[in-house]
Amino acid sequence: MTASLIGFAILIALSFTGIPLAFATLLVGFVGFGLIRGWESTVAMSGQQIAEMIVNPNLVVVPIFILMGEFIRRGGIADELYEFGNAVVGWLRGGLAMSTVLACGAFAAVCGSSVATAATMTKVAMPPMRRYGYSDSLSAGTIAAGGTLGILIPPSIIMVIYCIFTNEDIGRMFMAGVLPGMLMMASFLVTVALWVRLRPGAAPAGMPMAWGKRIAALKKTGAFVALFLTVLGGIYLGVFTPTEAASVGAIGAWLFAFVRGSMRSAREYREVIGGAAGISATIFAIASCAVVFSQFVNVTGMPYALLDLVNAWDLRGTSLVLAIGGLCIVMGMIFETLGILVLIVPMFLPALEAQGVDMLWFGILVIILIELGLITPPVGINVFTVKAARPDLELSHIFIGVGPFVIAMLVTAGLIVEFPWIATGLPNLMR
């Protein structure tokens, strides 16, 4: 176990030097395994593990869903989702901020990326909120926090990777994220409502909208809603496998973009396919290299030493999950989201299985806690994404703005701990 702790310390040090996580995990895992088992077996193990991960059939869904998200972005859906959100809640004080939450949730449902959601919605939502006198803290904080919905609301790439490491069903995992995602959105809406009630100067009074304009805004999002319901509804009803649903979604998203005048030149296809391939390659690299690091951790006996430690401390069920959740929050201040997942899950999997923990419920809870790392210092990737999209924003204002949403996320996690059916209800009803 000592060797594993040394390996983690070196991994953290390498991460602070700016070395990509994929290379850092591969280097530490390869050298650590080699020092213990010899270099010849290490070369064979590394090649085999990386090859098995890359050809895993469950990974096929990853680039297809990413391609679907790229087509949706080309279709200019973000502006219309924001307009629809404004039609629903724009009449309330803080309505534009609430509209941003709704738009982030809807966009995240087909994008699957927190960073992409935060970057897109910064460009869409920040100008009108500034124009109507919203405080920068409320505006930027809402956007950064709303972006975290990208990995909780299905389809989610993070969920796919989690299922590969835990051998859970991807379709059931997607369904497990629906109610928690809606609960998270609701908690963000309540957070905005409380913020503007306690500090009325943070946002102006709502702007009434005629019913005709509301209906027009709803009609514009009809194709998007149909696409989303087809993908998730098909999985829920057993009509599609996740891979088939991703393919249907990608074709539908392409048609959506094509009808709107996009995807009609070779340059656009190069950009979309190249972008999707680049994101997919990054995810594949992190996941496959993390497997090598996991083998190093396994050969040191750390997972089973942790199992003995759990038994010695008498950590049972929820207590064990909360301890792991606390570790996820701390790691979120250092590593990126995917990196935390592929490091934590294999390490604690034996202990979780021994305690009979529901891995769907655990996965949702861990994803929420990992999301905290996207908006908390010192890394706060979503915070820096919003800052990069609007350089004139003060970084301190953004971090102040996400504070209330951090509390909302912790409350959501607490509700899922207290009422596990929020995560397990829909999967248990699947056909």
User: Which tokens sit at 206?
Assistant: 């709502």
Q: How far apart are CA 68 and CA 86, in angstroms?
A: 25
Do 162 and 345 form a contact (C-beta atoms < 8 A)? yes
Please, which residues have CB within 8 angstroms of residue 110's CB and are 6 or more apart in sequence? 68, 69, 72, 77, 155, 224, 227, 228, 249, 253
Q: Is the pLDDT of residue 315 over 70?
A: no
Q: Is the pLDDT of residue 91 over 80?
A: no
Find the radius of gyration of the CA atoms of the chain: 22
User: Which tokens sit at 144?
Assistant: 């950064």
CA distances from 29 to 32, 39, 237, 342, 399 (A): 5, 12, 41, 13, 35
State the CB neighbour count (10 A cutoff) for residue 277: 13
Q: pLDDT, tens digit, for every residue of 157-174?
A: 888 888 888 888 888 998
Do 133 and 394 form a contact (C-beta atoms < 8 A)? no
Q: Could you give the count of Cα atoms lying within 13 Å of 311 in the half-sphere of its Cβ? A: 9
Q: How far apart are CA 170 and CA 427, in angstroms?
A: 10
Q: How far apart are CA 254 and CA 250, in angstroms?
A: 6
Run of H or E including 129: helix 114-131
Buried b (16+ CB within 10 A) or exposed e, 68-80: bbbbbbbbebbeb
Do 184 and 412 form a contact (C-beta atoms < 8 A)? yes
Q: How far apart are CA 236 and CA 215, in angstroms?
A: 29
Q: How far apart are CA 255 and CA 240, in angstroms?
A: 19
Do 65 and 74 form a contact (C-beta atoms < 8 A)? no
Confidence band for 283, pLDDT divided at 50, 70 and 90:
confident
Q: Is the pLDDT of residue 431 over 60?
A: no
CA distances from 172 to 155, 235, 370, 404 (A): 11, 8, 20, 31
Do 404 and 141 form a contact (C-beta atoms < 8 A)? yes
- Nearest alpha carbon to residue 80 among 102, 65, 109, 111: 102
What is the reported pLDDT for 326?
80
What is the reported pLDDT for 407?
93
Task: Return the sign of the alpha-carbon dihedral for residues 67, 335, 288, 388.
Answer: positive
Query: Mean of the pLDDT values across residues 107-123?
Result: 76
Cis preceding-peptide flag for 377 (omega within 30 of 0): no
217 vs 106 pLDDT, higher one: 106
Query: Mean of the pLDDT values across residues 250-270?
Result: 87
Q: Could you give the count of Cα atoms lying within 13 Å of 259 in the half-sphere of its Cβ? A: 11
Which domain range does residue 414 map to?
A: 2-429
Least confident range of 3-7, 24-28, 75-79, 125-129: 75-79
Do 81 and 107 form a contact (C-beta atoms < 8 A)? yes
What is the reported pLDDT for 344?
80
What is the reported pLDDT for 58?
76
Q: Is the pLDDT of residue 148 over 90?
A: no
Q: Is the pLDDT of residue 83 over 80?
A: no
What is the reported pLDDT for 341?
80
Full-model pTM: 0.81
What is the reported pLDDT for 311?
62
- Nearest alpha carbon to residue 184 among 430, 427, 407: 407
Residue 211's identity, in one-letter code, is: W
Q: How many domains does the chain have?
A: 1
Q: pLDDT, tens digit, for every residue of 356-387?
A: 888 999 999 988 988 887 788 766 778 888 88
Query: Mean of the pLDDT values across residues 18-46?
Result: 86
